[in-house]
Structure 1
């Protein structure tokens, strides 16, 4: 059930270059179940910035009624959000969208993320592990300065890191790592830039996959049609990433 709540900030810290980890507490957290969902945050109490910011959920703690988000502070809205401290409150709308279907994995799953697409894969890995599914994590970043949660992912399974400049892990993109890994998995889940999602689909055309798309959003609830994409069903068939997604089976969305 979607709720709007003024939630209390428990902790905020910078964990990589321009990357912040933010934990909030409130009853809205108890509505979260699917990894891959997101929330829409009003970053200021004034009318500027006007629009909310969509932020992905990285970890859920139902017992404590808390959840953690990870975001990149690069625009005015997220820079204002980065100034918040413990004890402040945030106007949060969520949980929004449809997340990753954990029940689709059988024995072994590949979790493939790029940049700010990495955060939702952490909660996904936790939930898959809890179901007895082995997870392998292939994560891409621009540089060593931008890498986050590497140790946390390693606690959950085999983890591989790629950086564009080669300053950490494998030089290049996640596809360079995928080319070297065995294909003995049954399901893959991926979140990141559109070019990366296309490359992952091309690499595993016969595998069952689920992709989380990053689109600019206005309302976050499917009313404004700002995040509409075409599908492979027909030339006149469209989906809204915010409400129909952001997660879709591989091969559905035309980018």
Structure 2
């Protein structure tokens, strides 16, 4: 159920270049699922006006805490990065449709690019709890923007690719994928649309789920700011409410 809540910031820190990890506490945590997101109001004033959509990276229901990772790239996230322990955080959520965790049976491939990496972390944790082996391929721009490599490695085999070659494989996640076995039954991916299309094309016939990044206004399907062309009878889908996770093949390239 979607609710608006003033949550409490537990802690916040910068974990990589312009990448912040923020943990907050509140009652809506119990409703969260991997792959969903929250809509954050960065400040109490009307500047900045719009909420910011941020994916859920980790869920701790017993503590009523969740963690989100985000990149500072505008006024809203710059204001959010100033939040400290004990501050109030205006949260609307959880929003959207998450990853179908139970679709994976034996082994799953998780592929993330940049700020598309965070929602895969809670997914990996839940799959591991279910006894599903996970392999992670994470793509970043450079070594100073890499995050959560050790956290993913603690769960399963993890590969890192950087565009400039300063860490892991030089290039994109596809350069890693072309060199590893495709013996998984299900894949999950989140990141820029070109990366998602490339992953989709690598594994025709495989069961896959893709989480799309799109600019959003309302986050609840009312403003139509995040529509994408669809390959099914709907013609267009709203990433915020129909997604952000879709079965492979639904969103047109």
Output the TM-score relative to the length of structure 2.
0.99
2:51 counterpart of 1:52: yes
The aligned counterpart of 2:14 is 14
| Root-mean-square deviation (Å) | 0.7
Q: Where do residues 132-151 of structure 1 align in structure 2 (5 Å cutoff)?
A: 132-151=131-150
Equivalent-residue separation in structure 2 for 1:238 and 1:138 (angstroms): 30
Task: Work out the number of aligned pairs and report it.
Answer: 253
Gaps of 5+ in 1: none
Q: Report the alpha carbon displacement of residue 23 of structure 1 after superposing the two structures with TM.
A: 0.2
Query: TM-score under structure 1 normalisation?
Result: 0.98
Match of 2:109 in 1: 110
Please list, as runs of the form range in 1=range in 2, the aligned pairs for 1:28-177 lying within 5 A after superposition: 28-32=28-32, 34-177=33-176
Please list the CA deviations of residues 85-141 of structure 1 after superposition, one character each: whole Å capped at 9, or x if unmatched: 111111100000000001110100000000000000000000000100000000000
Structure 1 counterpart SS, 2:29: helix
Q: Distance in 2 between matches of 1:233 and 1:109?
A: 26
In 2, Cα distance between equivalents of 1:177 and 1:114: 12
Deviations 1:178-213 (Å, cap 9, x if unpaired)? 000011110000000111000000100111100000
What does the per-residue CA deviation read over 1:50-102, in whole Å, with 9 as the maximum and x for residues that have no partner?
Answer: 10000000000000000000000111100110011111111100000000001
Pairwise mapping of residues 200-239 of structure 1 onto structure 2 (< 5 A)?
200-234=199-233, 237-239=235-237
- For the residues of structure 1 that align with 2:145 and 2:157, how far apart are their CA atoms? 20
Equivalence for 2:4: 4
| Cα offset, 1:230, TM superposition | 1.4
Distance 2:231 2:31 in 1: 32
Matched residue, 2:242: 244
Over 3 Å off, 4+ runs: none
